[in-house]
Amino acid sequence: MTDSRPIGVFDSGIGGLTVLSALCCRLPEERFVYLGDTARLPYGTKSAETVTRYALRAAAFLAGEDIKMLVVACNTASASALPTLERELPMPVIGVVTPGARAAVRWSSGPIGLIATEGTVASGAYQRAVRALRPDAQVRSRACPLFVPLAEEGWFDHPVTRQVAEIYLQDFAGGVVDSLILGCTHYPLLRSAIAAAVGPGVHLVDSATVVAEEVAERLTGEGILGRGEGGIHLLVTDAPTRIARIAAMILGDDTPPLQLVDLSA
Ligand code: DGL
């Protein structure tokens, strides 16, 4: 059995393109509709109630695009809104927190570091997901709010980004943790600056490939795999020209044109 409907992927901005990229590699025969809610970014500094409201609106919009599955490629929305999205939507919904925790536990044998948005850290979602897999795990967390605008600016390995990373991550350097969860989909874009700040002994955990694997398993399990030519449709809620430049830095030359959509309509 196959299903040619697209998979919806959603983030507050361009960060979720790191997950989309992994999904396209793992599932080249699937079509994807990506929605970046750039008009409301950042989500990470907002309350759980506001993030849940935004996430529900974005999910309803994607549901209107006849998607067969929703990937919440935003840790902040996954941490605050996943149970509500699962309850409200008729299709399978996959978040990024549990796959990220699974990847961290697989890589780590000691204390685990977590960097994420203020909302994700405050929610305790990662801490719970890690301890569900390894009850005695120690998780040290730190919110890094400036990483999101630096990534949205395309300053992936800029001297300013390196300096900000050194300040934020000084408590994780020198073997204090053996792995560091990049608990925001924007952070893998700053991988080199983050790696330089924590040093070579710390494994950086990016949930994108684990999420892509989980999506593949779920599609197979539900009997809704696609068998087409694949493709991406990119939607944003603000500043498509500006975002197109950054999207091309992540997705490369094949980046399709971005379409502006209005979620308030
Ligand atoms: N990329 C989002 C995440 O994974 C959040 C960025 C933001 O809007 O603050 O949490």
pLDDT tens for 62-97 read 999 999 999 999 999 999 999 999 999 999 999 999
Q: Which residues pair with 231 in a beta bridge?
A: 31
How far is the centre of ligand 1, averaged over its atoms, from the C-alpha of 1 (Å)?
A: 35
pLDDT of residue 264: 83
pLDDT at 204: 96
Cα separation, 19 vs 14, in Å, equals 10
Confidence of residue 1 (pLDDT cuts 50, 70, 90): confident
Q: Rg of the Cα trace of the chain?
A: 17
Q: State which of 9, 34, 117, 207 you would mutate to test the pocket of ligand 1, scoring each by most atoms of that ligand within 8 A of its C-beta.
A: 117
pLDDT on residue 253: 86
Distance (Å, whole) CA 41 – CA 31: 25
Instruction: Return the pLDDT at 231.
Output: 96
145 CA to middle of ligand 1, Å? Answer: 9
Distance 20 CA to ligand 1 centre (A): 14
Strands (E), 37-138: 69-72, 93-94, 112-116
Active site residue 25: no
Please, which pLDDT band fits residue 107 given cuts at 50, 70 and 90? confident
Residue recorded with tokens 């300040």? 167
* pLDDT higher than 90, residue 147: yes
pLDDT exceeding 70 applies to what percent of the chain?
100
Is the separation of the CB atoms in 91 and 172 below 8 Å?
no
Report d(CA 145, CA 112) in Å as an integer. 20
